A and B are shown apart, each in its own frame.
Chain A
Amino acid sequence: MLILNHLWIIPLLPLLGAAINGLSGLFGAKWPNKAVTAVAIGSTGLSFLAALECVREFLNLPAAQQALPWVKQYFTWIAAGTFRAGFDLQIDHLTIVMLLVVTGVGWLIHIYATGYMSHEGGYYRFFSYLNLFMFFMLILVMAANYVLLFVGWEGVGLASYLLIGFYFLKKSASDAGKKAFIVNRIGDFGFMLGMFLLFRTFGSLDFVTVFDKTRELPADALGQFGILTISCLLLFMGATGKSAQLPLYVWLPDAMEGPTPVSALIHAATMVTAGVYVVARSHILFTHAPTAMLVVASVGAATAFFAATIGLVQTDIKKILAYSTVSQLGYMFLACGVGAFSAGIFHLMTHAFFKALLFLAAGSVIHAMGGEQEVTRMGGLSGKIRWTYFTMLMGTLAIAGAPGFAGFFSKDAILFSAFQHAPGGRILYAVGLASALMTAFYMFRLIFLTFHGKPRFDEHHVHVHESPKSMLGPLVVLALLSIIGGWMAAPSFWGGTDHFTAFLAPVFGAEAAPEAATAAVSEAAEHSLELTLAGVAVATAFLGFFLAFWLYLRRPGVADQIAKSAKGAYTTLLNKYYVDELYAAVIIRPLVWISDNVLWRAVDASGIDGAVNGAAAGTTALGDRLRRAHSGNTRSYAVWVVIGALLILAVIFWPMLKPAAGMVP
Chain B
Amino acid sequence: MPAGHLLSVLIFFPALGALALLILRGDDHVWIRRVALAVSLVEFALSLLLVPAVPVGSSAYHLEELRAWIASPPIHYHLGVDGISLFLVILTTFLTPISILASWKSIQHRVKEFFFMLLLLEVGVVGVFLSLDLFLFFLFWEVMLLPMYFLIGIWGHERRIYAAVKFVLYTMAGSILMLVAIVWLYTITGTFDLPTIQTMLQAGYVSLSPRAELLLFSAFFLAFAIKVPLFPLHTWLPDAHVEAPTAGSVILAGVLLKMGTYGMLRFCLPLFPAASRRAAPLVATLAIIGIIYGALVALVQPNLKKLVAYSSVSHLGFVVLGIFAFNNISLQGAVYQMLNHGISTGALFLLVGMLYDRRHTFEISDFGGLSTPMPRLAAFFLFVALSSLGLPMLNGFVGEYLILLGTSQASVKWAAWAALGVILSAGYLLWSYQRVFYGPVTHAKNKELPDLSAREQWILVTMAFVVLWMGIGSLDFTSRFAASCQNVLTQMERPQAQEAAAPKPAATVVDAVPAAASSTAPAAVVAPAIYHDTVIPGGVPANSAGTKSRNLSSAPTSSPARRNTPASPATPTSSERLGNR
Contacts and interface: CB of A to CB of B under 8 A. Distances in A.
Interface string B568-581: 00110110111111
A192 B439 contact: no
Interface string B223-254: 00000000010111000000000000000000
Contacts of B301: 600
B299 A595 contact: yes
Contacts of A600: 297, 300-301
A147 B401 CA distance: 10
Interface stretch (A178-186, A357-365, A472-480): A178-186
A73 B405 contact: no
A71 B430 contact: no
A599 B297 contact: yes
A585 B81 CA distance: 54
B504 interface: no
B108 interface: no
Nearest to B441: A169
Interface string B413-430: 001100110110011001
23 contacts: A4-B579, A27-B376, A68-B577, A75-B566, A78-B478, A79-B479, A80-B332, A81-B329, A81-B482, A81-B553, A83-B405, A84-B558, A151-B392, A165-B438, A168-B437, A168-B438, A175-B434, A192-B401, A193-B416, A196-B404, A196-B412, A212-B573, A600-B297
Contacts of B166: 612
Interface string B302-338: 0000000000000000000000000111001100000
A16 interface: no
A154 B426 contact: no
A28 to B, nearest CB: 12
B422 A192 contact: yes
A395 B71 CA distance: 89
A11 to B, nearest CB: 12
A584 interface: no
Interface in B150-185: 166, 169-170
A5 interface: yes
Interface residues of B, number: 79
A80 B579 contact: no
B285 interface: no
A186 B426 CA distance: 10
A202 B234 CA distance: 39
A82 B328 CA distance: 9
A93 B558 CA distance: 30
A599 B295 CA distance: 11
Interface of A (DSSP majority class): helix
A189 interface: yes
Contact of A26 (B235, B379, B405, B581): B379
Interface of B: 166, 169-170, 232, 234-236, 293, 296-297, 299-301, 327-329, 332-333, 369, 371-372, 375-376, 379, 386, 391-393, 397-398, 401-402, 404-406, 408-409, 412, 415-416, 419-420, 422-423, 426-427, 430-431, 434, 437-440, 472, 474-475, 478-479, 482, 551, 553, 555, 557-558, 562-566, 570-571, 573-574, 576-581
A80 B478 contact: yes
Give me the 3 closest cross-chain CB pairs, A-B, nearest first. A196-B408, A81-B328, A595-B296
Contacts of A154: 391-392, 397
B415 A592 contact: no
Contacts of A212: 573-574
Contacts of B573: 209, 212
A528 interface: no
A550 interface: no
Interface residues of A, number: 68
Most buried by B among A72, A155, A181, A600: A600
A80 B329 contact: yes
B558 A609 contact: no
Interface string A572-606: 00000000000000000001101110011001100
Contacts of B427: 182
Contacts of B398: 78
Contact of A185 (B371, B386, B415, B426): B426
Contacts of A70: 579
Contacts of A195: 405
B448 to A, nearest CB: 18
A342 to B, nearest CB: 22
B419 A80 contact: no
Interface string A6-22: 00000000000000000
Contacts of A604: 235, 297
B408 A76 contact: no
Contact of B419 (A71, A193, A197): A193
A205 B256 CA distance: 36
A193 B418 CA distance: 11
Given A83-B558, A155-B393, A77 B577 contact: no
Interface in A33-83: 65, 68-83
A655 to B, nearest CB: 29
B574 A71 contact: yes
B430 A181 contact: yes
A208 B169 contact: no
A72 B439 contact: no
Contacts of B405: 83, 195-196, 199
Contacts of A591: 296, 299
A76 B557 CA distance: 10
Contacts of A603: 293
A206 interface: yes
Contacts of A197: 408, 412
A646 interface: no
Contacts of A513: none
A150 B379 CA distance: 24
A79 B579 CA distance: 22
A174 interface: yes
A155 B390 CA distance: 11
A596 B393 CA distance: 33
Contacts of B577: 68-69, 71, 208
Nearest to A169: B440
A426 interface: no
A193 B408 contact: yes
B238 to A, nearest CB: 8
A251 to B, nearest CB: 13
A26 B412 contact: no
A608 interface: yes
Given A71-B577, A193-B416, A200-B409, A596 B300 contact: yes
Given A75-B563, A154-B392, A209-B573, A171 B439 contact: yes
A193 B328 contact: no
B203 to A, nearest CB: 26
A592 B422 contact: no
Contact of B566 (A73, A79, A178, A594): A73
Nearest to A74: B566
Nearest to B331: A80
A82 B369 contact: no
Most buried by A among B327, B379, B579: B579
Contacts of A76: 475, 562-563
Given A71-B574, A197-B408, A604-B235, A77 B472 contact: yes
Most buried by A among B169, B405, B580: B405
Nearest to B481: A80
A186 B421 CA distance: 10
A193 B412 CA distance: 8
A596 B166 CA distance: 23
Contacts of A268: none
Given A189-B422, A199-B405, A158 B333 contact: no
B557 A169 contact: no
A186 B423 contact: yes
A658 to B, nearest CB: 30
Contacts of B170: 612
A646 to B, nearest CB: 33
Contacts of A168: 371, 437-439
Contacts of B327: 81
Nearest to B408: A196
